[in-house]
Structure 1
């Protein structure tokens, strides 16, 4: 099942011109406030009508420039930023307002069984968002839209809700369109990433590919630019106080005890924290030194250079100055070590 979006609209001063496909899984629409992200999902829901274009779901046309399927016939689940639960209803009544599809499995996945008799006033922010997600799913939607659902939550509440969203995306087998401008949510949730700036799609594709593209870095905060890596927890070395991860580039060390052995996780390696060396490092504190080969050296808009690296199966990149490139004589096909501190990277 794939959602196809190709729409154009003039919304005040914003000229919206967006095209992307969203397959099963989580497609994140990422960009600054005012970029047009919410307008896109409102068009998918039928809450606003584009000037022209096409919106279709698994070849079922929802909008084609002439005809527009009514909102209540689109089978879309919408989770808003502020949950929007009915205050006079219990959690059970809120959940079943739109239907009871797959009731037991959904409340178990979202951890809602102990909340069924309570009312929204007695719920935490994270609990409210889980109920709102459950309500959207019980209507048996063909696609779920989520408009910055964690923006109003503090750090611990966000950490509480994110795994539930990831579980839903993995089990429901439908497209989930998730709007955010928070990179931590992108790296933890996204399968596909669509970067929107001033109403235009400026980058799109699998999240690992987009984040590995240095030309996309200008759309992210400096600290957010860098590669996203899939790893598996190999072991915990309690004597040394580190966790050893298995990756496509070999072992990577993290401080402390992270995750369960055998668990998969994503690791973000900020490009600004990667140091390059021509020889294996000795006598320094950084725990991670990965043998790589340079695949490309690309100028960045800020005047620095992106050095693209491949370590076995793993693409990463480093942002360094032109002076460093000249002093090291860096060029494509050269073997170098990518060095980064264990404390500079972490699971997302």
Structure 2
């Protein structure tokens, strides 16, 4: 299937697979789609090492990098967190018997991206990550949240790398187009992670109409071939997928998280700012329920909410991995409503092939349906 997007980035299939694991990204790209690495949790040294590892295995096959690129937001500092918020978190952890971190715990989680995700929001660090990205042979760079700053677009232009940006409303799309992005990702509310309130079915054609010649990828609620076919029918040039890769064997999420995802229904997710300070869809758990009860403080804005809960999630993850059932009740993860379709863990390459084959099959069925209608 050739679309404006496949021509732009040089892939066989109009499908993007976004994941924080280099292993998933490699297998997605090897299968003919575009793997995109979520890189906001890495240091510059870690990102360079992972991109080098990917370059060696992909041997020229296209892949992309996704970063949260702030204009001026600085890193959160513990001093910016109100005492009442810290007290609330400590009381919640104590109520569930979550032990403190061991003395030898590595708070930077070097090499342990299967634990809680730390997002770099310091503008200086993120721009250094961008420089590392452009030192490698990337086919796409994406701005995960908000309009990319002019220097990011200019730097990408100089490197000949298309810029993608996620949007949740038509107004977002207008701003991104004015900023000069090359690809719009219309993410509906069904999607995991940071998301808005407009459904993919409504948002995608609206953004397509605004975009003109700029390719649009549909995102949110896409994990099967029929859903990719629906995205193409809405006028998109492909689909951006994220949650489905959590059901891949290569994804590094801990076993307790995988078990909860496989057991979840599509109604078991909730949009909440309690992890990052911005609304993000994630698996419902006792942690999210506690923040919604009377008397709970309002989540802090980004980046201070992340600063507040970072160590708490370390403690929850470590305890849950050790078999603590109370910690398991608190455990959550960013995931979209497609979690209800997860039935087993599969290789990432197999997931790509199944989505593509299912899409092609459904498009053939639609062509046959149209032909019968015309013949009648």
Structures share fold, TM-score greater than 0.5: no
Higher RCO by CA contacts (8 Å cutoff, separation 6 or greater): 2
Give the number of the structure whose residues are more often helix, by fraction.
2
Give the TM-score of the pair, scaled to structure 2.
0.24
Give the TM-score of the pair, scaled to structure 1.
0.26
